[in-house]
Structure 1
Amino acid sequence: MSLDSDTLWAAFGLMLIFEGLMPFASPQGWRDKMAQLMVLQDGQIRFFGLVCILAGLLMLWWLG
């Protein structure tokens, strides 16, 4: 798999599309979820971030 700048920009564009779906489709639901996130401990947020990173790396490894 070749990772050139076009692929990187396409991946970034897709990420922005996915990130924008919830605020566009359900602004109030998105706001409620963000409020729930604010009460989580730092360790819980870090764990979720780590799981996302590992899932992304696993997907890249699987696709590569």
Structure 2
Amino acid sequence: MSPTIWMALGLVLVLEGLGPMLFPALWRKMIGTLSTLPDALLRRFGGGLVVAGCVIYYMLRHKMGG
């Protein structure tokens, strides 16, 4: 895999880890709320995140000349 992908994955892990590290009670409440949402809504939300990530990746790759 490209080093850029590994750097992006590392950044995602850092950002994901900040929530439970800095705000554990709020993070736990958010996870509890997410677990009560219907599957269709979670799939829609996840799909939106995937699309947003692909668009950002495409824009950055295009801008960097890759």
TM-score range, shorter chain: 0.7 to 0.9
1:17 lines up with 2:14 in the alignment: yes
Q: 4+ residue runs of structure 1 moved beyond 4 angstroms?
A: none
Q: Which ranges in structure 2 are unaligned for 5 or more consecutive residues?
A: none
Superposition RMSD on alpha carbons, in Å? 1.2
Kindly tell me the number of residue pairs found equivalent between the two proteins. Answer: 61
* Larger mean Cα displacement after TM superposition, 53-62 or 26-35: 53-62
% same residue:
36
Higher relative contact order structure (alpha carbons within 8 Å, sequence separation ≥ 6): 1
Q: If the length of structure 2 is used for normalisation, what is the TM-score? A: 0.85
In the alignment, structure 1 segments of 5+ residues that lack a partner are: none
Partner of residue 30, structure 1:
27
Normalised by the size of structure 1, how large is the TM-score? 0.87
